[in-house]
Structure 1
Amino acid sequence: MSVERVYIVDDDPDVRQATSFLVATAGYATVALEGAEALLTAISAETAGCLVLDVRLPGMDGLQLQRELRRRGVRLPIVFITGHGDIPMAVEAISEGALDFLEKPFGAETLLRRIAEALERDRQRREQQRSAAALEARLAQLTPREHQVMEGILAGKLNKVIGYELGMSTRTVEVHRARLLDKLGARNASELVRMVLTGEGQVP
């Protein structure tokens, strides 16, 4: 499992050091970096945690970096900080998925509160990914017939209708139904529908 970290990216060494000290003192593992290229080298789509990004970075700025991270499949929550913010930039950052946009000087408690929210959002994201992966693995265990029966169940069809369409007895449909529910860890058809449509299987 990836270690949860707060990545702080700011080209001002004093701000970077002060922010890193504040976050570390609050008990978070921190990584302080000076620019976009350093961050892109340090993280991947599997990285856990959140980002605290200065929007005014040399080279690739914070908003460009946000788009590049998305292109690479990195979904870490972002808290933007800036000393030169304006409304259009804030609107763009939030519309692109940033958690917040804080202007310097920001209060320590405000930043820490946003970081806590960002980390919780990332934990939920990773839990959903694990859940979806578990469901996908279970779906892969189904036989072709079980897949066909499942499609009938998802369409709201009765066992006898599924049997008629697939050329099998109602009893055979019931056997396939029981087996696929067991493989997917669903207690009944309603739970099966919820799991498949939301992609939220139980993590073993």
Structure 2
Amino acid sequence: MELQSLTKVVPNSDPCVVVIDDDTQFRESLERLLRSAGLHARAFASIDEFAKSEPPNGPTCLVLDVRMPGRSGLEYQRDLVAAGVALPIVFITGHGDIPMTVQAMKAGAIEFLTKPFRDQDLLDAVNVGLARDRARRENEASLRTLRARFEELTPRERAILVQVVQGRLNKQIAGDMGITETTVKVHRSNMMRKIEAASLPDLCRMADQLNLLPKKAERS
């Protein structure tokens, strides 16, 4: 299983909590706890075992033991960060320390729980992770849809889009492109319809999402 595959989006897929801990009894107790709270849970004894499985399709939160035989939870977190995979992680450990906690939290962990911990603390952290991953997946799906609509624009419509969001008037755009103002209006109308922008502010938001304009620091 490639790391990037962990972030694929499948519409209407159920959330999943992945528990990775080499302690069989503890792993099974966590699985029971999560299922009792109405959450779909999958449990693995190691990172490698999880890596060989089918990746979850829906919003996902990892519950990782910090220290395990083979790759540790912290090492796997570093692998995910290096691969650009923003998967929420709740760390659990029987022997945590402050530097370890700081390292995990700086790398984006949701929570760092030291055994024994309250069941509710774990459930709260997992729900935060699932909500975060759900929002990320929805944003990525929305951006893919927007990019697909942008690809449907003609080169001239794309050029006009960029000039419009830069505040250029139809008359100025016509002069720059060597076409009539009426032609600009036609292309602009078609562009707005194709990209499904209801207003100029809506179009500006889309252009920002698509990174069509240079950053402010670069414009000055």
Question: Normalising by structure 1, what TM-score?
Answer: 0.92
146, 149, 163: which one pairs with 2:174? 163
- Shift of the 9–132 alpha-carbon distance from structure 1 to 2, 3 Å rule, reads same
Q: In structure 2, what is the Cα distance between the partners aligned to 1:133 and 1:77?
A: 21
Q: In structure 2, what is the Cα distance between the partners aligned to 1:73 and 1:117?
A: 20
For the aligned residue pairs, the C-alpha RMSD in angstroms reads: 1.7
Matched, 1:140 2:181: no
Aligned to 1:117, the other structure's residue is in SS state helix
Name the residue aligned to 1:49: 60
Deviation, 1:45, is 8.8
Cα contact 2:16–2:56 (8 A) shared by 1: no
Name the residue aligned to 2:199: 188
Aligned to 2:78, the other structure's residue is in SS state helix
- Shift of the 48–182 alpha-carbon distance from structure 1 to 2, 3 Å rule, reads same
Cα contact 1:48–1:76 (8 A) shared by 2: no
Unaligned stretches of 5+ in structure 2?
A: 1-9, 212-220
Name the residue aligned to 1:95: 106
Q: In structure 2, what is the Cα distance between the partners aligned to 1:32 and 1:180?
A: 49
The alignment covers a number of residue pairs equal to 200
Task: Give the residue type in structure 1 aligned to 2:67.
Answer: R
Aligned to 2:172, the other structure's residue is in SS state helix
Aligned to 2:176, the other structure's residue is in SS state helix
Higher mean C-alpha displacement, 68-77 vs 182-191 = 68-77
Cα contact 2:19–2:41 (8 A) shared by 1: yes
Higher mean C-alpha displacement, 95-104 vs 43-52 = 43-52
119, 130, 141: which one pairs with 2:130? 119
86, 90, 102: which one pairs with 2:97? 86
Cα contact 2:81–2:107 (8 A) shared by 1: no
Deviation, 1:54, is 0.5
Question: Normalising by structure 2, what TM-score?
Answer: 0.86
Task: Give the residue type in structure 2 aligned to 1:102.
Answer: L
Name the residue aligned to 2:23: 12
- Percent identity of the aligned residues? 41
58, 64, 67: which one pairs with 2:69? 58
Name the residue aligned to 2:44: 33
Q: In structure 2, what is the Cα distance between the partners aligned to 1:4 and 1:45?
A: 8
Deviations 1:123-153 (A, max 9, x none): 1000000000000000000001101101101
Cα contact 1:7–1:52 (8 A) shared by 2: yes
Cα contact 1:45–1:73 (8 A) shared by 2: no
Q: In structure 2, what is the Cα distance between the partners aligned to 1:43 and 1:149?
A: 45
Deviations 1:86-143 (A, max 9, x none): 1111111111111111111110011001111111101100000000000000000000
Task: Give the residue type in structure 1 aligned to 2:17.
Answer: V
